[in-house]
Homo-oligomer: A and B are copies of this chain.
């Protein structure tokens, strides 16, 4: 990465999962695909880059690498709590992609327990009211280093 920029958890988050393939890897892992070849196929990442990304995601504590077979030694990639906590980011991204990028209906769709097709929105965890641009105000802004 280049120069410093603003002190910011968005930048910090992107240092972990902001590389081209990381979020697609996470998507597959959270969908239940945990093996190298399947993740490679389903993301479209080349195998060397995928190996590097998986290593980085394990190093950063987003995934763990666990043996599921002794002979031959085989490992699968399992999301940690931090990894599972990225689901909202992926769903928010999917919702945005569905609305503003993908032509036609979304290729992947979910149903919520309430029976409606899922269209997630951001809410305040305290009062459970939707978060809109004019319902929040800045308390503190990270400084530019």
Contact = CB atoms under 8 A, between A and B. Distances in A.
A129 B114 contact: yes
Contact of A10 (B94, B117, B127): B94
Contact of A91 (B61, B91, B94, B122): B122
Interface residues of A, number: 88
Given A14-B93, A20-B1, A141-B31, A113 B101 contact: no
Give this chain's copy count: 2
A30 B139 CA distance: 16
Interface string A7-39: 111111111101110011001100100000000
A118 to B, nearest CB: 6
A14 B20 contact: yes
